[in-house]
Amino acid sequence: MTLPKLTDYHLGSIQTLLVLSQIAIYFILFLPYTNSELFNFSSFNSNEQNIYQEGDAFSSNGVLQLTKNQQDGSLTNSVGRSTYSKPVQLWDSKTKRLASFRTHFSFVIKAVNSSMYGEGLSFFLAPFNAEIPYNSTGGFLGLFSQHSAFNSTQNPIVAVEFDSLKNYWDPSDDHVGINVNSIVSVANVTWSSSIKNGSTANAWVDYNSVSKNLSVFLTYAGNPSYNGTSTLFHVVDLRDILPEMVRVGFSASTGSWIEIHNILSWDFFSDEFPEDKSKTIIGLVLGLVFGGIILVSVFGVLFFSWWKKRVAHKKENNDSDDFMDDEFEKGTGPKRFSYNELVGATNNFSEEGKLGEGGFGGVYKGFVGDLNLDVAVKRVSRGSKQGRKEYISEVKIISRVRHRNLVQLLGWCHERGELILVYEYMPNGSLDAHLFGKKYMLTWVVRHKIALGLASALLYLHEEWEQCVVHRDIKSSNVMLDSSFNAKLGDFGLARLVDHESGLQTTMLAGTMGYLAPECVTTGRSSKESDVYSFELLLLKFPVGEDLLNQVKRV
């Protein structure tokens, strides 16, 4: 069948029809549940009827001042709340439907004394009849009393705190945290605040009723736009914590140390709940009928869209292969193999010649007649995006480094959707097979030689090559042994190149649990030092003769 050629005009019309159809279906099906603006305060009048003030909170000069200011005398042990005066519906007890919401507010916390300041402010949701608890100044932020601070189920509350003084339950001095029924945050992040200079901060608090994800976003006046990247988040079903109708607003406090807490603006968007069920049912029926008609009419359009994407994707893959060819062939040493060559070398990737299975594909023994050489052929699993990334990383890095204790890459191939790497063959397999398996027991002389070889490889990667290579996955299964039991470090799929003067900035956790340095788990950052940590853990296995992960499981 010959498909008709689509002009740009036709494609534009098709895309427009698809968008309009989706909009129509959405509005008809879900119109009763619209996301609407409940309120928007660009500033605050002193006689604002929609703001309820408690404690020391008051409105002045267009802002909400949550605690005492300089004109009121002593600022210590001050506590105040400013909240929306009407209840906000969070969920519906009849349908169990939960609302999504988004609120944005700008605020200033300013230190009176730049070396001694505290305690902080929070945005919170609580039962509508909730009031400021007794003895809630200082580190309790006007949210909890001293007696209910660590288990407040009888006075439920969900809050986002901007805390400026470390108490014994806090992780650091300045931090942002999410609190659920406790002053101890369930999620927190260190906050590089502007309290000393009093800069304006912009915060967004989002709650997605489908994923149950409560997210916090924070920027400053120099970059006031919402950028969609959360500062921190926590998954919580608010129906389990709060009643249907809640009070929303702000709370702040000071203790022996003081600061000023001001809210400059505030808006709040939330899902509306339908008042008439019959309208919902009619809307649902009309939506289904009209939506069905729309769907039938656009099936042909969807087919053409799918076909166009398929053609574009095929072209993109071809372009990507050409790009990889150009990049890889800039290096010296490894050569490009054809797919047919490797099929012949491995007897069509025979299971009998399979040496092992890695995280992203199998490794096969092969023989390349032109080189008169045994080889190890790594075949990346089809469709693995991570495998493709590691394939590119491995070729670009290992093809450029040369050292007697690094596995030598002989060649590569990417044809017919396959990603294949060809290495020198290591007759004695991997180190883990000897330490933990049933292979040849290594003497102490051999183990000492292996340790020295690995240390030499790391010194070369970290200090002696033109760039620093951070391996990020040093473990016994990535150490291969040649016929003389010389150590060869391999598997550079997770490795990264960095300048010697700077560290690796990625925050994507990479490596193998049981070998990772503690700072890699907490920060996601790897470094030369974390490589050395993994190497030291590997050395600990030499006398033990057992996998560290098995020991951890027993403990």
Tokens 């970059």 appear where? 223
Residue 369 and residue 293: Cα distance in Å, rounded? 63
* CA dihedral angle for residue 404, residue 406, residue 408, residue 409, rounded to 10 degrees: -150
* Residue 396 marked in a binding site: no
Tokens 């070369």 appear where? 460
Q: Is 370 designated active site?
A: no
- b/e map of 494-531 (b: 16 or more CB within 10 Å)? bbbbbeeeeebeeeeebbbeebbbeebeeeebbbbebb
Residue 167 and residue 364: Cα distance in Å, rounded? 58
Residue 243 and residue 211: Cα distance in Å, rounded? 19
Is the distance from CB of 424 to CB of 535 less than 8 angstroms? no
Q: Is 93 left (phi over 0), alpha (psi -120 to 50) or beta?
A: alpha
Residue 185: half-sphere exposure toward Cβ, Cα within 13 Å? 25
Strand 51-55, strand 201-208: pairing: unpaired
Is the distance from CB of 375 to CB of 345 less than 8 angstroms? yes
Tokens of 185: 């945050």
Identify the active-site residue in 56, 163, 206, 473. Answer: 473
Alpha carbon separation from 429 to 315, 424, 432, 436 (Å, rounded): 40, 11, 9, 13
Is the distance from CB of 141 to CB of 251 less than 8 angstroms? yes
Binding positions are 378
Residues at the binding site for ATP are: 378
Catalytic residues: 473
